[in-house]
Chains A and B, each alone.
Chain A
Amino acid sequence: MWTWFYKLASPPYVYGVAAALMPWLLGTAALAMVYGLIAGLAFAPPDYQQGDAFRMIYVHVPAAIMSLSVYMVMATASAVALIWRIKVGHAVAAASAPIGASFALLALVTGSLWGRPMWGTYWAWDPRLTSELILLFIYVGVMSLRSAFEDHARGDRAAALLAVVGVVNVPIVHFSVVWWNSLHQGATIVKLGAPSMPGSMLWPLLSMWLGFMLFYGAVLCTRVQAEVLNRERQAAWVREAIKS
């Protein structure tokens, strides 16, 4: 039963699986995102309260969800790598970190752009944006720690530990920020959130979310391939793979 798990511990196997999956993931991601964008931007009716500005939701919300999901993947891969000493886990975590950070940055930028018509400013200390910002800082910390070590194996392990410590803290940070913001109620009258959604608005959103997930999968496959090749560059199978 666990054979698939043990097979995944083998770098050449993972390399092969990633190479095979990538085109499928990219193709379905493209389909989902094209549908989501067209249906959401062109066909969904404007919100009665926010007007056309709400359409930012089709990028902002999936990006925010993905920034958290990718962190979970990174933390899980790190935990697997630390506990069972499976090196591929480090490759997956290292590959995911920049993607997750990019999603967080995208969520922040789109949130800021959304805030302009909503609050009149590019930034207000909205609880979700603030905890997204702190999440971005945690991502940056993990990436900086990994690259600060000269010995890559130690850098991987240190960054993995930090990712696991961070995953425990992310809900705490989020809760604290929400609590903090509730003290200053009244600043944000219009919530930067999903308006109550009829189907014509909801389906494109779900499709964009799916598209982002598949896109993450596709980019992850490519990056994991690169990470595995880099880490295993002394091994014989790598020379074969590069030749082909």
Chain B
Amino acid sequence: MNIAPDGLEFEKVHVWRGDRHVLQGVSANVRPRELLHISGPNGTGKTTLLRVLSGLLRPEQGSVRWLGQSIMTFRTEYQASLAYASHEPALKGDLTALENLHFAVGLKRRITAEELHAALDRTGVGACADLPARVLSAGQRRRVALARVLAMSATVWLLDEPYTNLDASGADLVSGLLQAHVQGGGLALVVAHHELRLPCSIRRLELNS
């Protein structure tokens, strides 16, 4: 029976960094309404895997397919439908939180100031909208980065350790956002060191050296 290809699948991905064989033939697939939890010790290539899946890094061997098509053939369109949150919050210190969001999200879709404010409120940093990012704490910056992911309205979320620097309420926030996203039809790939307890379909990918 042929199942129509949907979702993100990657097969036998190999990546070398210099002499190190960082990713040794990892495969998985993630369909809409699913979450892939990527875990493993430090240095096993979790961030590298996310960068491969985002199209930034071309693997030496293996393929990454979105909706059945290799992402390299339509890289820009694929990237338009994903939201990537790296390990650092990736904010310009001289711009306000609102401006950071505006310049980032505004390239992906037309967005109004109200929607941006709503996203910042949703992640609990609405009051920081007009503060330059360099005066925000690490936790606040993480929340602004999450607001950016939220505002992009992307189908695919690639989150690299989104729980870093967040307190308990922040962790609940991230879990809530993930849950809402996945249940709303999106898919998410999350790198996290601890157990994810979410009422949705969670697959595990354990990377080891």
Contacts and interface: CB of A to CB of B under 8 A. Distances in A.
B114 interface: no
Contacts of A152: 18
Contacts of B77: none
Contact residue range for chain A?
under 10
Interface residues of B, number: 4
A151 B15 CA distance: 13
Contacts of A233: 19
A152 B18 CA distance: 6
A107 to B, nearest CB: 36
B30 to A, nearest CB: 27
Interface string A198-223: 00000000000000000000000000
Interface string B1-44: 00000000000000011110000000000000000000000000
Contacts of B19: 233-234
A150 interface: yes
A140 interface: no
Nearest to A152: B18
A153 interface: yes
Contacts of A151: 17-18
Nearest to A149: B18
Contacts of A153: 16, 18
Contacts of A150: 18
B156 to A, nearest CB: 26
Contacts of B17: 151
B60 to A, nearest CB: 9
A233 B16 CA distance: 14
B65 to A, nearest CB: 19
Nearest to A87: B60
A234 B19 CA distance: 8
Interface string A226-244: 0000000110000000000
A233 B18 CA distance: 11
B75 to A, nearest CB: 16
In this complex, the member of A150, A151, A152, A233 whose beta carbon has the largest number of chain B beta carbons within 10 angstroms is A151
Nearest to A151: B18
Contacts of B16: 153
Nearest to A150: B18
Contacts of B18: 150-153
A72 B203 CA distance: 52
B20 to A, nearest CB: 10
Nearest to B21: A234
Interface of B: 16-19
Given A153-B18, A234-B19, 6 more contacts: A150-B18, A151-B17, A151-B18, A152-B18, A153-B16, A233-B19
Interface pairs A-B: 8 shortest CB-CB: A151-B18, A152-B18, A151-B17, A234-B19, A153-B18, A153-B16, A150-B18, A233-B19
8 contacts: A150-B18, A151-B17, A151-B18, A152-B18, A153-B16, A153-B18, A233-B19, A234-B19
